[in-house]
Structure formats: structure tokens, C-alpha cells
């Protein structure tokens, strides 16, 4: 075991993966469809990757964004690579709705309301199918 939770465990329900990275569904009840694209190996920053790897990772982040847009039709997408707590490169890909708990704040900001958003039935299966249908 390392001391990195993203080296020791998937970090969510794995919907897609290859030898380079994985896409996981995050368990955030306020944010159904919140996905993370996680580099498999332990690297801190985008600029610790060679340019071809940065590009490969961002292509997957953008494909994940497109999947969320296609399946969920959010009002906005939020992308972020922070890693202050877990410095293992991972991208948050977050569907945002104008009536979600924090909008227009970031999901890490002040909570403004309780959500009434219904979780689409079969959401996980839809996201997984869309991710796996991509070339």
C-alpha cells in the first residue's frame, strides 16, 4: 500500500479504463453524473507529463465532458485539476445545473440550496455505455 488513495483504490465506480487512465463515477449525492478522469500512475501536475501525455489525458477529459453533455444536458460543465489533498493527477468533470446546490458557485463554495434534481434512471449505465462507445 502506498499513502495515495488513488494509487491504492479506483477512487469511484470505474466506468471506463485503459492502461493510461480511468473514468470513475464519484459518489456525490448532490452531483449525480460527477465523473473524474484519473491518471493511473502517480504524477502531481500536468507539466510533469510529457506533452503527448498531457494531450492524451485532455482528449479523454473532453470526451468525458461530451458524454456528460449528451447524456445529462447540463447548463454548464466545470473542469478542474486541483489535487491539494490528493496530489495524484485527476480531473473533475462536473455537470452543473442552474438549480443545483451551489450554482453559480463552484461545488467547493457556499451551498445555496437543497437540490430537487431527479437522478436520471439508469444514469450510470448510460454514462458507461456512452464512454465505452467512444473510439
Q: Strands 21-25 and 35-39, how do they pair?
A: antiparallel
d(CA 13, CA 64): 15
Rounding to the nearest 10 degrees, give the CA dihedral for residues 80, 129, 13, 53: -50
Q: Which of residues 11-50 bind a copy of itself (CB under 8 A)?
A: 44-47
The helix (H) or strand (E) run that includes residue 23 is strand 21-25
Of 30-38, 56-64, 113-121, 125-133, the window that binds a copy of itself (rule: CB under 8 A) is: 56-64
Is residue 104 close enough to count as binding a copy of itself by CB under 8 A?
yes
Q: What's the CA dihedral at 59, 101, 118, 37 to 10 degrees?
A: 20
Which grid coordinates belong to 20?
Answer: 493510461
**Minimum distance of a copy of itself from residue 21's CB (angstroms):** 15
Shortest distance, CB of residue 62 to a copy of itself, whole angstroms?
5
Which DSSP helix (H) or strand (E) runs through 68? helix 51-72
Minimum Å gap between C-beta 38 and a copy of itself is 15
Which one of the spans 4-12, 33-41, 101-109, 113-121 is the region binding a copy of itself (CB under 8 A)?
101-109
Q: What is the contact surface with a copy of itself in residues (CB under 8 A)? A: 44-47, 51, 54-55, 58-59, 61-62, 65-66, 69, 76-85, 87, 96, 103-106, 108-109
Amino acid at each position: 500500500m502506498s499513502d495515495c488513495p488513488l494509487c491504492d483504490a479506483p477512487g469511484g465506480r470505474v466506468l471506463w479504463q485503459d492502461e493510461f487512465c480511468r473514468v470513475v463515477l464519484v459518489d456525490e449525492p448532490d452531483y449525480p453524473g460527477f465523473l473524474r478522469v484519473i491518471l493511473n500512475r502517480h504524477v502531481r501536475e500536468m507539466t510533469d507529463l510529457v506533452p503527448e501525455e498531457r494531450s492524451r489525458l485532455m482528449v479523454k477529459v473532453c470526451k468525458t465532458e461530451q458524454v456528460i453533455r449528451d447524456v445529462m444536458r447540463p447548463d454548464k460543465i466545470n473542469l478542474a485539476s486541483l489535487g491539494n489533498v490528493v496530489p495524484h493527477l485527476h480531473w473533475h468533470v462536473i455537470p452543473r445545473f442552474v438549480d443545483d446546490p451551489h450554482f453559480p458557485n463552484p461545488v467547493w463554495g457556499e451551498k445555496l440550496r437543497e437540490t430537487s434534481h431527479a437522478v436520471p434512471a439508469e444514469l450510470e449505465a448510460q454514462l458507461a455505455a456512452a464512454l465505452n462507445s467512444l473510439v
